[in-house]
């Protein structure tokens, strides 16, 4: 029987709805802990409440705390770890763990779109699916997985695509890597490249901006004046910006602030194709770093981790 640790961090999966007002909020008694024993047939399961936070309250410090608890769980002999988490920032925590963990046991992140006592609550169903994945030998050495709605996704590319729908976590372009059945998971593909970085602190400041038609230099200049360590921009199309932003981007690079471009389109990758004022080709030549399929929030997490790990500026481009 597999020894599995469930780490509860809060979120909708551990909240309840007030049927009079309709408000969803944390409760004094975490329903995950109360329900943990119903899955005892699946393994030797321990439920531990590490945090009780809504996902917008999760910061990089809590992400590091989860990472440390997982490393301790490996030392304690656990065969797999499931993390329950609020969905708003779930993908960022999952990707942070993907970049900072180098373990072979299954690490699975799950959550819920409906609170524990709502009609059609998906919390226990997702938790069961996560446990199926965490107890499967096939899940070893797969990296961090996000399991929602009977699908397994890689932490690197999964994203939340809907505000309320239970089928909201998707992987644009690639799709899920596996499907969860009644008592097993079937994998159809895997993440080809994995990377891990050893970090012990979260002191770097990396900001994220989103481009729009007619964008000027003001926001970029303002952000770069805050003594930041890095900047990620969700650029237009394959990696372009309005011409008025060009001088501000150059000023950031002259200050040795790494600037990373992703696309604000959720499908596809950035490319240095267009050779005009504000085109990606010229930004790339000026020193802007282009990503391969990462979202803005994921690229921010990656740049933060790379900087914390002490990756030299000249090596950042190849890491993306």
Give residues with Cβ within 8 angstroms of 47, minimum separation 6.
6, 8, 32, 33, 36
Give residues with Cβ within 8 angstroms of 179, minimum separation 6.
150, 151, 152, 185, 186, 188
- Calpha distance 297→305 (Å, rounded): 13
- Calpha distance 130→134 (Å, rounded): 6
* Residue in 205, 207, 209, 206 with CA at minimum distance from that of residue 235: 209
Query: Quick count: other Cβ atoms within 10 Å of Cβ 239?
Result: 25
SS3 content of the chain, % helix, strand, coil (to 5): 35, 20, 45
Exposure letters 13-25 (e unless 16+ CB within 10 A, then b): bbbbbeeeeeebe
Q: Are the CB atoms for 158 and 91 separated by under 8 Å?
A: yes
Give residues with Cβ within 8 angstroms of 305, minimum separation 6.
96, 99, 100, 197, 199
What is the 8-class DSSP label of residue 290? E
What are the residue numbers of the active site?
12, 87
- Calpha distance 137→134 (Å, rounded): 8
Which residues make up each annotated binding site for substrate? 55, 87-88
Maximum CA extent, the chain: 62
């Amino acid at each position: 029987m597999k020894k599995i640790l469930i780490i509860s961090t809060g979120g909708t999966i551990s909240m309840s709805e007030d049927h009079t007002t309709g408000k969803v909020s944390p409760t004094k008694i975490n329903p995950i802990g109360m329900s943990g024993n119903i899955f005892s047939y699946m393994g030797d399961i321990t439920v531990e409440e590490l945090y009780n936070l809504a996902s917008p309250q999760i910061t990089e410090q809590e992400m590091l705390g989860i990472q440390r608890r997982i490393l301790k769980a490996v030392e304690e002999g656990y065969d797999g770890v499931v993390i329950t988490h609020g969905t708003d920032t779930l993908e960022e925590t999952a990707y942070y763990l993907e970049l900072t963990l180098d373990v072979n046991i299954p690490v699975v992140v799950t959550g819920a779109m409906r609170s524990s006592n709502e009609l059609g609550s998906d919390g226990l169903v997702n938790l069961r699916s996560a446990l199926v994945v965490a107890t499967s030998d096939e899940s070893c050495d797969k990296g961090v997985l996000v399991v929602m709605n009977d699908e397994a996704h890689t932490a690197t590319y999964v994203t939340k695509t809907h505000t309320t729908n239970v089928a909201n976590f998707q992987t644009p372009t690639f799709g899920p890597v596996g499907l969860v059945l009644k008592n097993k998971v079937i994998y159809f593909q895997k993440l080809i490249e994995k990377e891990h970085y050893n970090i012990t602190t979260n002191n770097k400041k990396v900001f994220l901006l989103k481009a729009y038609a007619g964008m000027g230099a003001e926001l970029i200049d303002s952000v770069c004046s805050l003594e930041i360590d890095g900047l990620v921009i969700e650029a237009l199309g394959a990696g372009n910006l309005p011409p008025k932003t060009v001088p501000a981007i150059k000023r950031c690079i002259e200050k040795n602030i790494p600037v990373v471009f992703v696309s604000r389109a959720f499908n596809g990758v950035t490319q240095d194709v267009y050779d005009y004022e504000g085109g990606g080709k010229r930004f790339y030549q000026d020193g802007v770093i282009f990503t391969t399929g990462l979202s803005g929030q994921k690229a921010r997490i990656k740049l933060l981790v790379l900087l914390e790990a002490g990756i030299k500026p000249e090596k950042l481009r190849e890491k993306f």
